[in-house]
Structure formats: structure tokens, C-alpha cells
Amino acid sequence: MSSPCAYTDIEWKILYKYKNKEDIYVICSKEGSANYFCKESFLEIVVSALKLFNGHNSIEKITEIMSVKYPEYKVEEMIKKLAKSKFIKGNEEKYISSELKRSSINIKEFDITGLGKIDKGIIRVLYSIFLGLISVSIIICINLLIQNRFIISAYAGQKTQGLYLMKIIVIIVSMIVSLIFHEFAHILVGLQHGLVPIKLGISLYMNVIPMYYIITPGTYLASTYERIKFYIAGVCANFIIFAFFSMFASVFQCDFFYLIAFSNFQLILINLIPFALTDGYFLMSIILKRINLRLDFINIITFQNKNTGKLDIATKIYCVISITYIWILVFNISYWVMKNLVVKLSLGINIITLSLICSILIMAITFFLMIVRTQKIRK
């Protein structure tokens, strides 16, 4: 009979205050990169349960103790959930309940804990430079707008019509570099506010959409303002690239500069749309004071939510739009690949039909794998 042991660096704070309902608290462990959200009335119970995960008590013993101490609550499910969480030592590698783990192919994770050792003075200087670049970028965009030389109107003139091999390479390379810059902006702002990242990862979201991500323990322990700055940092990095290359494109009339600028404009839009696992989703969650919208979405599409009828209308609408939006992303990637592949190979196939079939297959396979992974969690 196993006796799970939890990390001892348990911290908690109020996350969202409400006027007409119970406040929401978050319980965190930076060592385990773990978060648990609960109502104020349940906070004491969760913290008490975590303290019993000391390496000496079995799950059955913890359940028995908690049932006696809090007879008015059904604690069994909560204790089972905690036992499978990253609060427990040794659960890090097998923890797959997050959307990213369930819906993605993980390619590689890099240990970046060493970044936390960078001198704070250097971080402050880099942060000041970053803020300065944002200010300059705003001025550049205002100036381009005034002169009617903005990148969007220029791009609408089909400066980059016809995707040849070199232009495709430029798009791919610029996307990769821009996304790395995006993630390091998150890291820089996080370090400025005491949030130390531990991993930088690369995965294929929905098995086809390239995605970089960072794991930064304790994010929810930061203030609301600090979290907003942390989540918006990546978009600001893409805005800097977009502004400077818009200026270069306007001055030099170079197709490649247009491509780099427009690629970053697309990255800004994609990251601000809250219907996937993006910065925009986390920003929306803060603004609307909502938690676990993505978890509700995952539970619905994997048939794990037995109370779907009890979900509020906003959650249902969000889930429908999310599925539609993700399918559009997958379809666009399929179309882009098929268009270039079919055209280059001179295949007599309808590109739209092929892209539709391909995107539907990808979505079906991804949802099936998500259901399989979800079943593993429940065991």
C-alpha cells in the first residue's frame, strides 16, 4: 500500500474576488509546478489533506482521517485527484491531465532552470530595453499609419504574391525565430517579477500546430497586474518584430521584410484569440475571472463531463467556438501544405477537398487520442 508524499512548499492566495459568490483561491507548489483551484470554504480542507500526504499515510488512511474530520464533505474524489496531481513527488513525468499533454505530441523539453541564476541587475537592464523597444515600436506604427505606409495596406497590394521555395523558407525560419523571441519575452518579464521558468518545450498542438511553451511554477501566486504583463509579453515581442520589419519593408520595398512583418502580425492575432491554449486565453481568464474554461472544454470533447447540461451558456458557447476555431487552424495548415505540395507535384486533386479530408482526419485522431489519454488519468 503506497504512501504518497507531497511537496512541503505549499502556498495559497486569493485569486479572484466576487461580489455575489464565494471567492476563488489557488493553492500552489513551486517545486512540483502544481496548482489547485478551490472555493474559499474548501481551502482549509484541501490544505489539511495535502499536509497528510507526508509519506507515512496511505490514500485510504488519508481518506479515513479527512472523512472523520470533515464529515459534511465528500472528500474521496478530492483526495484521489490530489494523489494523482503534481503536488505529489514522483508524479511530474506521468502527469498528463493538462490540455497540452492530452492534445499534443511532445517533441522536446529543455531544462532552463539556470536562467534563474542570471544577475537581477542584468534582468532589469534587459527589461528596460524591452520596454523601450515597445515604445519605439508604437511610434514606428503611428508614423507608418500617418504616412499611409502601414504593412497591412502594403501587403494587401500583393507584394508577396506567389510563394516560391525561398519565401517559404523565410516564413518558416521567421516563425521559428519569432516564436523563440516570443517565449524569451515571457521568460524575461517573469524573471523581472520573480517567476523562474524551469522548462522550455516544443510540441505539436492538436498533433499538427507547432507550439513553443514554457513551464513557470508559481505564476498564479503573482499579482493580477504581474500576470497580465507576463502573459502579454510574448505578443509584445512579436509586435516589436512586426513594427521594425514593417518599417524596413516600407523603406527598402523588400518582399522578405514584408513576409517577416506579416508573419508576426499573424502571430499577434493567433496569440490574442482566446479559443485555444494561447496567451489570449489566459488574459481572458483574468479579465473575466474565470478558471478551468479549457478544462471544461477538454472534458466535454472527451465525454468526461457528466453535468454538461448544468454548464452556463457562456461556457457552452466558448466550447463550440473553440472546436470551430481549432478546426479552422488545422484546416489552414492542411490547405497551405496541400496547396504547395499539390501544385509542385502537379497532382490533379482538388486542394480544398483534400484539405477538408485531411483536417477532419487530424481532428478525429487527436480527439480519439485525447479520450485514450483521459481514460489513463481516470485509472
Average pLDDT on 35-40 reads 93
Task: Please say whether the beta carbons of 237 and 230 come within 8 A.
Answer: no
pLDDT (0 to 100) of residue 255: 80
Residue 203: CB atoms within 10 A of its CB come to: 20
pLDDT value at 154 more than 50:
no
Residues 198 and 183: their CA atoms lie apart, in Å, by 13
DSSP-assigned beta bridge partners for residue 215: 199
Cα separation, 291 vs 297, whole angstroms = 12
Q: How far apart are the first and last CA of the chain?
A: 16
Cell of 207: 498533433
Q: What is the pLDDT of residue 247?
A: 92
Nearby residues of 226 by Cβ (< 8 Å), 6 or more positions away? 193, 195
Ramachandran angles phi, psi of 111, nearest 5° = -75, 120
How far is the C-alpha of 344 from the C-alpha of 348, rounded, in Å?
11
- Confidence class of residue 293 from pLDDT cuts 50, 70 and 90? confident
pLDDT digits (tens, 9 = 90+) for 116-142: 999 999 999 999 999 999 999 999 999
Q: What is the pLDDT of residue 160?
A: 46
Tally Cβ neighbours within 10 Å of residue 2.
10
Q: What is the C-alpha separation between 171 and 175, in angstroms, rounded? A: 6
**Alpha helices (H) in the chain, listed in sequence order:** 40-52, 59-69, 76-83, 99-103, 120-146, 151-156, 165-192, 224-252, 255-272, 279-288, 293-301, 313-345, 351-378
Integer Cα distance of 187 and 127 in angstroms: 10
Backbone angles phi, psi at 11, to 5 degrees: -130, 155
Give the tens place of pLDDT for each residue, 1-16.
478 999 999 999 999 9
Predicted confidence at residue 273, as pLDDT, reads 95
Give the C-alpha separation, 216 to 33, whole Å.
7
- The pLDDT tens digits of the residues spanning 302-340 come to 777 666 667 788 888 998 999 999 999 899 888 887 776
Question: Dihedrals φ, ψ of 200, to 5°?
Answer: -115, 125
Instruction: Please report, as a single letter, which amino acid is at residue 95.
Output: Y
d(CA 221, CA 27): 9
How far, rounded to the nearest angstrom, does the alpha carbon of residue 339 sit from its chain's CA centroid?
Answer: 29
Rounded to the nearest 5°, which phi and psi values hold at 306?
Answer: -80, -10
User: C-alpha dihedral over 373, 375, 376, 379, to 10 degrees?
Assistant: 170
**235: three-class secondary structure by DSSP:** helix
Q: What confidence score (pLDDT) does residue 68 get?
A: 93
161-171, pLDDT tens digit by residue? 455 667 778 88
Q: Are 309 and 337 spatial neighbours (Cβ–Cβ below 8 Å)?
A: no
